[in-house]
Structure 1
Amino acid sequence: MASLSSNDSIVIVGAGIIGLNVALVLAEKGYGQSITVVAEYFPGDTSTYYTSPWAGCNFSAISGTDINALRWDRMGYAHLSKLATHHPEESYVQWTPSTELWDEDIPRDKIQHMSEYLKDFRVLSDAELPRGVKFAVSFTTLTVNAPKHIKYLYRRLQDQFGVRFVRQRLPSIQAAYASPSTKIVFNCTGLGSGTLPGVEDPKCYPTRGQVLLVKGPHIQTNMMRHGVDYETYVIPRPGSNGNAILGGYMQKGVNDGSTYDSETKSILARTRDLSSEVSQQEPEVLAVVAGLRPSREGGARVERDEILVGGQKRILVHNYGAGGTGFQAGYGMALESVATVEDMLRDIRDSIARPRL
């Protein structure tokens, strides 16, 4: 079995959508064969603590209104747009008509920002609003088959770029520096950053969600309703032979991977009220799943840090805490986390280019 003891200039800890996007950004810059991704779980695995395969998932206004979230969203939309336009079948990303509704607490600044780049953006008139809805917009969004998309990235990183993957649960972040040749470690451990020795960020917390995977080939429209204390959504799943995701829940601080029939009934009732496509024909429930979104007080952490390993200072880049926005913000977060170590990457690039004597 492969290990971390070989010549790993760049180590990425974590193989969820955040870690995979960091690997992709680096690989696209020419560092593929210098990268090792070490993780306990990989695409194709299932675990309550491996959140990425459980995502809905789509591009939506569910993310924060801070300047970082706005910037990451815009970069993420551009990235997913390219995949949906040029490689929709291969990447499992597609263009989908979308409507989002708010009961109240309308994020006006965020909507204004998103209106600048969202395809076919339009504010619905008061006459078009359902009962109880204060504001709504329509646009063309991007929907993603989460488990298939991360498998696509996993295969592409290995086959096209030569990235190595090592299955290992590290006892600490310091253990990622097992090779003396390791120059940079990216910490993409999501919820694990709250307990991983060497990181132990007290701001990390889970946000539990429960969703239904349903058979519904007639479901072609993305619908989301943002309530005061709930989120309801209907998301068609690309490349799934007519499946869709119905949700959901955003239960802050709840660390419970169980699923509950009462929540399933609530999701079915709410999505019937939200979507005419769901109400016209009851979809067949194929699976009920729960996952723990890797959230963080104050938003995601994307920053360069230093850590002592064996008495020496080493470079550590943190990239975690995206909550439920990893698929839409992850590529932007990856671009910025990689940008923090451009000086180190130049040294690695020079060593790659330097001929051996």
Structure 2
Amino acid sequence: MAENCKIVVVGAGILGLTAALTLQEHIKQPVLIIASEFPGDESINYASPWAGAHYRPIPALTPADVRAQKLMTVTNAVLRTQASTHPEAGIRFMEGREYFEDPPGSYVGLQGGYGDTDGFRVLHKSELPSGVQWGCTYQAWSLNSPVYCAFLMRRFIHRGGKTLRMRLVSLQEVPHIAPKSEVVVNCSGVGFGDPECFPTKGQTCLVKNACHRTITQQNKDGSWTFIIPRPLEGGTVIGGTKNPGDWSSGANEDVRRTLLERAAVMYPSIVVDGGFEVIRDIVGRRPTRRGGLRLCTEMMEVKTEEGKGKRTLQLVHAYGAGGSGYELSWGVAKEVANLVAKGQQSPLKASL
């Protein structure tokens, strides 16, 4: 199975799945995904199926922001096409709203832009909830993340993709598993020994209460409240917390209570019969990296299968997106394919 695969993707999160599919389409080589978890699995370390996946734009204030906007633009275009051609994928475009109780200077006075954001408009004071000083509306999208990951996995398999469930200790193991591999794409989330990587624990609550838009609010204390509907009757995600370096795995009932109380204040119409119908608490560890996304290529020298010599593989890194994995996903996948094509001296790069 793995013996004939020339491209190996490590990791089956949203970056790994989209990269594998894009490589299948553009590089035209057998692709193998090696991962310890796949769509359908539940693990606190497998963050993608837990995500409240949605789009919220950001002002392009730094070179990293500009880069992120470009990647998001690619993702938005792909998702728009998929939403119209594959309703079973669990994608829906809808209104998004952003609120700030104490807006940073980069937002005050902002009248438009937000990169490639359709429908952007600064809200009038009369449209803002109590305590909110600034807000805007724009066209967003939301995904039913477990449904979408399963959709991508099915497409990968249908196109001839191979999978191997295995927890790797080192990327040096890959060429021994796939002896004909020429390219390794590292979508492992937290990297392999990267000192800049760390987990960020997040807690949200999935409820049956319906909402017809995504809403994100930054509170005065710096915390965030968000409401993200999941298409295909997947409920609504109420969030959320961000606790860098927190390795605990349990859900906190006090946190859940606070999240629901804040959501009720921010968007009262979501409350039904005085409360929320809770489906479950969600706890996941987002793979985060100081300095943000690592997206680059290098060469990796490995021992031959016989152990008598060495050979060189192309290694492409694509990990550390934190909570922006879905927003960046298809843009990152395109860049991964470009890097692979360039490394393989393939003329396909021009078509990506």
**Structure 2 match to 1:283:** 276
Between 164-173 and 218-227, the greater mean CA deviation after superposition: 218-227
Q: Secondary structure at the match of 1:190?
A: coil
**Residue of 202, 211, 218 corresponding to 2:195:** 202
**Structure 1 match to 2:306:** none
Distance 1:348 1:77, change over 3 A: closer
Residue 341 of structure 2 contacts residue 347 of structure 2 at CA under 8 Å; is this kept in 1?
Answer: no
Structure 2: distance between partners of 1:112 and 1:313: 51
1:54 aligns with 2:54: no
Q: Secondary structure at the match of 2:42?
A: coil
**Structure 2 match to 1:10:** 7
Deviation of the 1:213 alpha carbon: 1.0
Structure 2 residue ranges without an equivalent (≥5): 304-309
**Structure 1 match to 2:70:** 71
Q: Secondary structure at the match of 1:341?
A: helix
Deviation of the 1:223 alpha carbon: 0.9
Residue 129 of structure 2 contacts residue 266 of structure 2 at CA under 8 Å; is this kept in 1?
Answer: no
Q: Secondary structure at the match of 1:42?
A: coil
Residue 214 of structure 1 contacts residue 285 of structure 1 at CA under 8 Å; is this kept in 2?
Answer: yes
**Residue of 164, 167, 184 corresponding to 1:166:** 164
Structure 1: distance between partners of 2:59 and 2:172: 32
Deviation of the 1:107 alpha carbon: 4.1
Q: Give the partner amino acid of 1:38.
A: I
Q: Give the partner amino acid of 1:126.
A: K
Structure 1 residue ranges without an equivalent (≥5): 350-357
1:220 aligns with 2:212: yes
Structure 1: distance between partners of 2:107 and 2:162: 44
Distance 1:17 1:263, change over 3 A: same
Once the two structures are superposed, residues 5-38 of structure 1 have per-residue CA deviations (whole angstroms, 9 ceiling, x without a partner) of x11100000001000010121122252x510001
Q: Secondary structure at the match of 1:336?
A: helix
Residue 59 of structure 2 contacts residue 106 of structure 2 at CA under 8 Å; is this kept in 1?
Answer: no
Once the two structures are superposed, residues 220-270 of structure 1 have per-residue CA deviations (whole angstroms, 9 ceiling, x without a partner) of 2211102352111111110125x1111111112222221010101011111
Residues 266-345 of structure 1 aligned to structure 2 (within 5 Å)? 266-279=258-271, 281=273, 282-310=275-303, 311-345=310-344
1:28 aligns with 2:25: yes
Residue 57 of structure 2 contacts residue 117 of structure 2 at CA under 8 Å; is this kept in 1?
Answer: no
**Structure 2 match to 1:176:** 174
Q: Secondary structure at the match of 2:317?
A: strand
Structure 1: distance between partners of 2:343 and 2:298: 13
Deviation of the 1:205 alpha carbon: 1.2
Deviation of the 1:142 alpha carbon: 0.5
Once the two structures are superposed, residues 81-110 of structure 1 have per-residue CA deviations (whole angstroms, 9 ceiling, x without a partner) of 2222332x221101122211122225449x
**Structure 1 match to 2:93:** 95
**Structure 2 match to 1:229:** 222
Structure 2: distance between partners of 1:213 and 1:129: 25
**Structure 1 match to 2:39:** 43
Q: Give the partner amino acid of 2:174.
A: A
1:135 aligns with 2:134: yes
Structure 1: distance between partners of 2:112 and 2:77: 14
Residue 9 of structure 1 contacts residue 34 of structure 1 at CA under 8 Å; is this kept in 2?
Answer: yes
Deviation of the 1:326 alpha carbon: 0.6
Once the two structures are superposed, residues 151-183 of structure 1 have per-residue CA deviations (whole angstroms, 9 ceiling, x without a partner) of 000001111x11111111122111111233211
Structure 1: distance between partners of 2:115 and 2:84: 19
1:247 aligns with 2:239: yes
**Structure 2 match to 1:126:** 125
Q: Give the partner amino acid of 2:18.
A: N
Deviation of the 1:274 alpha carbon: 1.1
Deviation of the 1:47 alpha carbon: 0.3
**Structure 2 match to 1:150:** 149
RMSD (CA atoms): 2.2
Structure 2: distance between partners of 1:40 and 1:113: 43
Q: Give the partner amino acid of 1:290.
A: V
**Structure 1 match to 2:307:** none
Aligned residues: 334
Once the two structures are superposed, residues 175-233 of structure 1 have per-residue CA deviations (whole angstroms, 9 ceiling, x without a partner) of 11123321100000002x1xx3xxx11111111110111112x3222111023521111
Residue 22 of structure 1 contacts residue 334 of structure 1 at CA under 8 Å; is this kept in 2?
Answer: yes
Between 19-28 and 126-135, the greater mean CA deviation after superposition: 126-135
Q: Secondary structure at the match of 1:162?
A: coil
Q: Give the partner amino acid of 1:181.
A: K
Structure 1: distance between partners of 2:328 and 2:105: 21
Q: Secondary structure at the match of 2:55?
A: coil
Distance 1:300 1:113, change over 3 A: farther
Q: Give the partner amino acid of 1:293.
A: R
Deviation of the 1:327 alpha carbon: 0.8
